[in-house]
Structure 1
Protein backbone atom coordinates (compact mmCIF):
# COMPACT_ATOMS: atom_id res chain seq x y z
CA UNK A 1 0.00 0.00 0.00
CA UNK A 2 1.53 3.34 -1.06
CA UNK A 3 1.38 6.38 1.15
CA UNK A 4 1.50 9.96 -0.06
CA UNK A 5 2.09 11.24 3.47
CA UNK A 6 5.06 13.62 3.73
CA UNK A 7 8.05 12.35 5.72
CA UNK A 8 7.95 12.75 9.49
CA UNK A 9 10.84 15.24 9.33
CA UNK A 10 8.78 17.52 7.08
CA UNK A 11 5.69 17.28 9.28
CA UNK A 12 7.70 18.09 12.39
CA UNK A 13 9.54 20.93 10.62
CA UNK A 14 6.13 22.58 10.06
CA UNK A 15 5.08 22.11 13.69
CA UNK A 16 5.06 25.24 15.85
CA UNK A 17 4.16 24.23 19.42
CA UNK A 18 3.54 20.54 20.11
CA UNK A 19 3.94 17.05 18.74
CA UNK A 20 2.60 14.06 20.66
CA UNK A 21 3.07 10.42 19.80
CA UNK A 22 1.00 7.53 21.13
CA UNK A 23 2.41 4.01 20.83
CA UNK A 24 0.27 1.05 21.88
CA UNK A 25 1.86 -2.03 20.28
CA UNK A 26 4.15 -4.49 22.05
CA UNK A 27 6.07 -5.27 18.86
CA UNK A 28 6.87 -3.20 15.79
CA UNK A 29 8.67 -5.84 13.74
CA UNK A 30 12.34 -6.44 13.16
CA UNK A 31 14.93 -3.80 12.35
CA UNK A 32 18.75 -3.83 12.25
CA UNK A 33 19.21 -2.05 15.61
CA UNK A 34 16.88 -4.53 17.34
CA UNK A 35 18.77 -7.42 15.77
CA UNK A 36 22.08 -5.98 17.04
CA UNK A 37 20.59 -5.64 20.53
CA UNK A 38 19.45 -9.29 20.37
CA UNK A 39 23.08 -10.24 19.63
CA UNK A 40 24.10 -8.48 22.82
CA UNK A 41 25.34 -5.26 21.25
CA UNK A 42 24.51 -2.26 23.40
CA UNK A 43 24.55 1.45 22.65
CA UNK A 44 27.64 3.28 23.85
CA UNK A 45 25.89 6.40 25.08
CA UNK A 46 29.25 8.16 25.55
CA UNK A 47 29.86 7.84 21.77
CA UNK A 48 27.08 10.08 20.50
CA UNK A 49 28.14 9.72 16.86
CA UNK A 50 27.42 5.99 17.05
CA UNK A 51 23.74 6.40 17.97
CA UNK A 52 22.70 9.95 16.99
CA UNK A 53 20.60 9.55 13.82
CA UNK A 54 18.64 11.92 11.58
CA UNK A 55 15.56 11.24 13.71
CA UNK A 56 17.34 12.47 16.84
CA UNK A 57 18.44 15.63 15.05
CA UNK A 58 14.92 16.25 13.74
CA UNK A 59 13.55 16.07 17.29
CA UNK A 60 16.38 18.22 18.69
CA UNK A 61 15.81 20.87 16.01
CA UNK A 62 12.08 21.00 16.78
CA UNK A 63 12.69 21.26 20.52
CA UNK A 64 15.22 24.05 19.90
CA UNK A 65 12.44 25.94 18.04
CA UNK A 66 10.20 25.60 21.11
CA UNK A 67 8.16 22.56 20.07
CA UNK A 68 7.23 20.33 23.00
CA UNK A 69 7.62 16.69 21.94
CA UNK A 70 5.95 14.03 24.08
CA UNK A 71 5.71 10.27 23.58
CA UNK A 72 3.44 7.95 25.57
CA UNK A 73 3.79 4.18 25.35
CA UNK A 74 1.07 1.80 26.53
CA UNK A 75 2.75 -1.53 27.23
CA UNK A 76 1.81 -5.01 28.40
CA UNK A 77 3.62 -6.33 31.47
CA UNK A 78 5.75 -8.24 31.69
CA UNK A 79 7.07 -6.37 28.68
CA UNK A 80 7.91 -8.00 25.37
CA UNK A 81 11.46 -8.35 24.10
CA UNK A 82 10.78 -5.50 21.68
CA UNK A 83 9.67 -3.21 24.50
CA UNK A 84 12.77 -4.15 26.55
CA UNK A 85 14.88 -3.03 23.59
CA UNK A 86 12.83 0.15 23.20
CA UNK A 87 13.21 0.87 26.91
CA UNK A 88 16.99 0.42 26.64
CA UNK A 89 17.21 2.82 23.70
CA UNK A 90 14.79 5.47 24.99
CA UNK A 91 17.77 7.35 26.40
CA UNK A 92 18.34 8.54 22.82
CA UNK A 93 14.78 9.92 22.61
CA UNK A 94 15.25 11.73 25.90
CA UNK A 95 18.67 13.08 24.86
CA UNK A 96 17.02 14.44 21.70
CA UNK A 97 14.53 16.41 23.81
CA UNK A 98 11.50 14.13 23.92
CA UNK A 99 9.57 13.66 27.13
CA UNK A 100 8.68 9.95 27.31
CA UNK A 101 6.22 8.20 29.60
CA UNK A 102 5.07 4.60 29.99
CA UNK A 103 1.63 3.33 30.94
CA UNK A 104 1.20 -0.34 31.86
CA UNK A 105 -1.75 -1.69 29.88
CA UNK A 106 -3.30 -2.93 33.15
CA UNK A 107 -3.68 0.73 34.17
CA UNK A 108 -5.19 1.80 30.83
CA UNK A 109 -8.80 1.22 31.77
CA UNK A 110 -11.84 3.41 32.23
CA UNK A 111 -11.28 5.37 29.03
CA UNK A 112 -11.23 4.74 25.29
CA UNK A 113 -8.23 4.98 23.01
CA UNK A 114 -7.94 5.02 19.21
CA UNK A 115 -7.14 1.70 17.55
CA UNK A 116 -3.99 3.06 15.88
CA UNK A 117 -0.73 4.63 16.95
CA UNK A 118 -0.45 8.25 15.87
CA UNK A 119 1.42 11.53 15.90
CA UNK A 120 -0.60 14.68 16.53
CA UNK A 121 1.03 17.92 15.38
CA UNK A 122 -0.11 21.20 16.98
CA UNK A 123 -3.46 19.56 17.69
CA UNK A 124 -4.34 20.19 14.02
CA UNK A 125 -2.82 17.39 11.96
CA UNK A 126 -2.99 13.69 12.73
CA UNK A 127 -0.59 11.14 11.24
CA UNK A 128 -2.16 7.72 11.77
CA UNK A 129 0.07 4.63 11.57
CA UNK A 130 -1.13 1.32 10.15
CA UNK A 131 0.71 -1.91 11.00
CA UNK A 132 0.47 -5.52 9.89
CA UNK A 133 -0.18 -8.30 12.39
CA UNK A 134 3.57 -9.00 12.67
CA UNK A 135 4.21 -5.40 13.72
CA UNK A 136 5.68 -4.23 10.44
CA UNK A 137 4.68 -0.79 9.22
CA UNK A 138 2.19 -0.82 6.33
CA UNK A 139 1.31 2.82 5.67
CA UNK A 140 0.38 6.15 7.23
CA UNK A 141 -2.51 8.47 6.61
CA UNK A 142 -3.16 12.09 7.48
CA UNK A 143 -6.34 13.54 8.92
CA UNK A 144 -7.58 16.98 9.88
CA UNK A 145 -11.02 15.71 10.87
CA UNK A 146 -11.99 17.70 13.98
CA UNK A 147 -13.66 14.74 15.69
CA UNK A 148 -10.58 12.55 15.20
CA UNK A 149 -8.24 15.32 16.34
CA UNK A 150 -10.27 15.78 19.52
CA UNK A 151 -10.54 12.04 20.19
CA UNK A 152 -6.84 11.41 19.73
CA UNK A 153 -5.78 14.52 21.61
CA UNK A 154 -8.04 13.66 24.54
CA UNK A 155 -6.90 10.02 24.61
CA UNK A 156 -3.26 11.09 24.58
CA UNK A 157 -3.75 13.57 27.44
CA UNK A 158 -5.58 10.97 29.56
CA UNK A 159 -2.80 8.45 29.02
CA UNK A 160 -0.14 11.10 29.64
CA UNK A 161 -1.64 12.02 33.01
CA UNK A 162 -1.63 8.38 34.15
CA UNK A 163 1.70 7.39 32.62
CA UNK A 164 5.00 7.05 34.44
CA UNK A 165 7.94 9.27 33.42
CA UNK A 166 10.74 7.32 31.75
CA UNK A 167 13.16 8.12 34.58
CA UNK A 168 10.78 6.46 37.07
CA UNK A 169 9.45 3.51 35.04
CA UNK A 170 11.24 0.24 35.65
CA UNK A 171 10.85 -2.95 33.63
Structure 2
Protein backbone atom coordinates (compact mmCIF):
# COMPACT_ATOMS: atom_id res chain seq x y z
CA UNK A 1 0.00 0.00 0.00
CA UNK A 2 1.09 3.53 -0.68
CA UNK A 3 0.09 6.75 1.06
CA UNK A 4 -1.79 9.35 -0.94
CA UNK A 5 -1.96 13.11 -0.42
CA UNK A 6 -5.18 15.08 -0.07
CA UNK A 7 -4.56 16.66 -3.48
CA UNK A 8 -4.10 13.26 -5.13
CA UNK A 9 -7.26 12.02 -3.43
CA UNK A 10 -9.20 15.07 -4.64
CA UNK A 11 -8.09 14.27 -8.20
CA UNK A 12 -9.43 10.73 -7.81
CA UNK A 13 -12.79 12.04 -6.59
CA UNK A 14 -13.17 14.09 -9.74
CA UNK A 15 -11.30 11.97 -12.28
CA UNK A 16 -12.54 8.39 -12.04
CA UNK A 17 -13.89 6.71 -15.17
CA UNK A 18 -17.25 5.07 -14.42
CA UNK A 19 -17.90 4.43 -10.75
CA UNK A 20 -17.00 5.56 -7.26
CA UNK A 21 -18.28 3.65 -4.24
CA UNK A 22 -17.70 4.74 -0.65
CA UNK A 23 -18.28 2.75 2.53
CA UNK A 24 -18.48 4.62 5.84
CA UNK A 25 -18.41 2.58 9.03
CA UNK A 26 -17.92 5.10 11.85
CA UNK A 27 -20.54 6.84 13.96
CA UNK A 28 -18.58 10.08 14.11
CA UNK A 29 -16.07 11.96 12.02
CA UNK A 30 -14.38 15.28 12.56
CA UNK A 31 -13.30 16.84 9.30
CA UNK A 32 -12.06 20.42 9.43
CA UNK A 33 -14.60 21.41 6.76
CA UNK A 34 -17.57 19.87 8.52
CA UNK A 35 -17.00 20.71 12.19
CA UNK A 36 -17.99 24.42 12.06
CA UNK A 37 -21.22 23.57 10.22
CA UNK A 38 -22.06 20.76 12.60
CA UNK A 39 -21.46 23.11 15.55
CA UNK A 40 -23.97 25.59 14.08
CA UNK A 41 -26.50 22.78 13.60
CA UNK A 42 -25.99 21.60 17.19
CA UNK A 43 -27.07 24.96 18.58
CA UNK A 44 -29.94 25.37 16.11
CA UNK A 45 -28.32 27.99 13.88
CA UNK A 46 -29.32 27.96 10.21
CA UNK A 47 -26.84 26.77 7.59
CA UNK A 48 -27.36 27.75 3.96
CA UNK A 49 -25.39 24.66 2.82
CA UNK A 50 -23.42 26.84 0.41
CA UNK A 51 -20.27 25.05 1.54
CA UNK A 52 -21.63 21.84 -0.05
CA UNK A 53 -22.09 23.42 -3.47
CA UNK A 54 -18.61 22.53 -4.75
CA UNK A 55 -19.15 18.84 -4.03
CA UNK A 56 -22.68 18.97 -5.46
CA UNK A 57 -21.31 20.52 -8.67
CA UNK A 58 -18.81 17.64 -8.93
CA UNK A 59 -21.65 15.15 -8.43
CA UNK A 60 -23.77 16.80 -11.13
CA UNK A 61 -20.84 16.62 -13.55
CA UNK A 62 -20.38 12.91 -12.82
CA UNK A 63 -24.06 12.22 -13.46
CA UNK A 64 -24.01 14.27 -16.68
CA UNK A 65 -21.06 12.17 -17.88
CA UNK A 66 -22.84 8.90 -17.00
CA UNK A 67 -20.70 8.10 -13.97
CA UNK A 68 -22.11 6.51 -10.82
CA UNK A 69 -21.45 7.72 -7.26
CA UNK A 70 -22.74 5.57 -4.39
CA UNK A 71 -22.21 5.86 -0.63
CA UNK A 72 -23.29 3.42 2.06
CA UNK A 73 -23.23 4.54 5.67
CA UNK A 74 -23.21 1.91 8.39
CA UNK A 75 -24.78 3.53 11.46
CA UNK A 76 -25.60 2.65 15.03
CA UNK A 77 -29.10 3.44 16.20
CA UNK A 78 -30.09 5.68 17.76
CA UNK A 79 -27.90 7.80 15.52
CA UNK A 80 -24.97 9.71 16.95
CA UNK A 81 -25.11 13.50 16.82
CA UNK A 82 -22.74 13.43 13.88
CA UNK A 83 -24.93 11.02 11.92
CA UNK A 84 -28.09 13.00 12.71
CA UNK A 85 -26.37 16.08 11.33
CA UNK A 86 -25.06 14.11 8.36
CA UNK A 87 -28.58 12.93 7.57
CA UNK A 88 -29.84 16.50 7.80
CA UNK A 89 -27.41 17.71 5.10
CA UNK A 90 -27.54 14.71 2.72
CA UNK A 91 -30.47 15.76 0.53
CA UNK A 92 -28.53 18.30 -1.59
CA UNK A 93 -25.97 15.59 -2.41
CA UNK A 94 -28.73 13.11 -3.26
CA UNK A 95 -30.41 15.74 -5.44
CA UNK A 96 -27.07 16.27 -7.20
CA UNK A 97 -26.81 12.57 -8.03
CA UNK A 98 -25.05 10.76 -5.19
CA UNK A 99 -26.97 7.64 -4.19
CA UNK A 100 -26.68 7.58 -0.39
CA UNK A 101 -28.00 4.69 1.67
CA UNK A 102 -28.11 4.04 5.40
CA UNK A 103 -27.39 0.60 6.86
CA UNK A 104 -28.36 0.14 10.48
CA UNK A 105 -25.49 -1.73 12.13
CA UNK A 106 -27.87 -4.36 13.51
CA UNK A 107 -28.65 -5.50 9.94
CA UNK A 108 -25.06 -6.14 8.86
CA UNK A 109 -23.69 -8.28 11.69
CA UNK A 110 -23.00 -11.20 9.34
CA UNK A 111 -21.06 -9.18 6.75
CA UNK A 112 -17.28 -9.26 6.71
CA UNK A 113 -15.98 -5.70 6.49
CA UNK A 114 -12.57 -4.19 5.80
CA UNK A 115 -10.91 -2.62 8.83
CA UNK A 116 -11.27 0.92 7.46
CA UNK A 117 -13.64 3.10 5.50
CA UNK A 118 -12.81 3.14 1.82
CA UNK A 119 -13.46 4.44 -1.65
CA UNK A 120 -13.26 2.07 -4.60
CA UNK A 121 -12.73 3.67 -7.99
CA UNK A 122 -13.62 1.73 -11.14
CA UNK A 123 -12.77 -1.61 -9.51
CA UNK A 124 -9.11 -0.78 -9.99
CA UNK A 125 -8.03 1.33 -6.99
CA UNK A 126 -9.03 1.26 -3.32
CA UNK A 127 -8.33 4.20 -1.04
CA UNK A 128 -8.48 3.21 2.63
CA UNK A 129 -9.26 6.12 4.96
CA UNK A 130 -7.64 6.20 8.40
CA UNK A 131 -9.08 8.07 11.39
CA UNK A 132 -8.06 8.69 14.97
CA UNK A 133 -10.35 7.64 17.81
CA UNK A 134 -12.10 11.02 17.82
CA UNK A 135 -12.84 10.83 14.09
CA UNK A 136 -10.16 13.16 12.77
CA UNK A 137 -8.62 12.09 9.47
CA UNK A 138 -5.13 10.61 9.87
CA UNK A 139 -4.25 9.61 6.31
CA UNK A 140 -5.09 7.55 3.27
CA UNK A 141 -3.49 4.49 1.71
CA UNK A 142 -4.11 3.12 -1.78
CA UNK A 143 -4.16 -0.43 -3.03
CA UNK A 144 -4.46 -2.01 -6.45
CA UNK A 145 -4.20 -5.52 -5.01
CA UNK A 146 -6.94 -7.63 -6.61
CA UNK A 147 -7.70 -9.23 -3.23
CA UNK A 148 -8.31 -5.84 -1.62
CA UNK A 149 -10.49 -4.78 -4.54
CA UNK A 150 -12.59 -7.97 -4.37
CA UNK A 151 -12.94 -7.69 -0.57
CA UNK A 152 -14.09 -4.07 -0.76
CA UNK A 153 -16.49 -4.69 -3.64
CA UNK A 154 -18.01 -7.70 -1.88
CA UNK A 155 -18.40 -5.85 1.43
CA UNK A 156 -19.90 -2.78 -0.23
CA UNK A 157 -22.43 -4.74 -2.28
CA UNK A 158 -23.47 -6.83 0.73
CA UNK A 159 -24.06 -3.67 2.78
CA UNK A 160 -25.75 -1.93 -0.17
CA UNK A 161 -28.28 -4.75 -0.50
CA UNK A 162 -29.42 -4.22 3.10
CA UNK A 163 -29.09 -0.44 3.19
CA UNK A 164 -32.07 1.90 3.08
CA UNK A 165 -32.19 4.67 0.45
CA UNK A 166 -31.84 8.15 1.92
CA UNK A 167 -35.39 9.12 0.89
CA UNK A 168 -36.79 6.20 2.93
CA UNK A 169 -34.45 6.18 5.94
CA UNK A 170 -36.00 7.63 9.08
CA UNK A 171 -33.34 8.38 11.72
CA UNK A 172 -33.89 6.81 15.08
TM-score w.r.t. length of structure 1: 0.90
Question: Structure 1: how far apart are the matches of 2:142 and 2:160?
Answer: 22
Does residue 130 (structure 1) correspond to residue 130 (structure 2)? The answer is yes
Cα 1:16/1:126, change in 2 over 3 Å:
same
Does residue 40 (structure 1) correspond to residue 55 (structure 2)? The answer is no
Cα 1:150/1:6, change in 2 over 3 Å:
farther
Question: Structure 2: how far apart are the matches of 1:96 and 1:33?
Answer: 20
The equivalences for 1:22-41 within 5 A come to: 22-29=23-30, 31-41=35-45
> Are 1:19 and 1:70, in contact at CA under 8 Å, matched by a contact in 2?
yes
Deviations 1:78-126, CA, capped at 9 Å, x for gaps: 1100000000001121022100110100111222011111111111111
Could you say which residue in structure 2 is the equivalent of 1:55?
Answer: 55
TM-score w.r.t. length of structure 2: 0.89
Question: C-alpha root-mean-square deviation of aligned residues, in Å?
Answer: 1.7
DSSP-derived class of the 2:168 partner: coil
> Are 1:128 and 1:140, in contact at CA under 8 Å, matched by a contact in 2?
yes
Deviations 1:14-33, CA, capped at 9 Å, x for gaps: 21211101001000026111
Question: Structure 2: how far apart are the matches of 1:140 and 1:131?
Answer: 9
Aligned length, in residue pairs: 166
The equivalences for 1:10-21 within 5 A come to: 10-21=11-22
1:51 Cα shift?
A: 4.5
Q: Which runs of 5+ in 1 are unaligned?
A: none
1:44 Cα shift?
A: 4.5
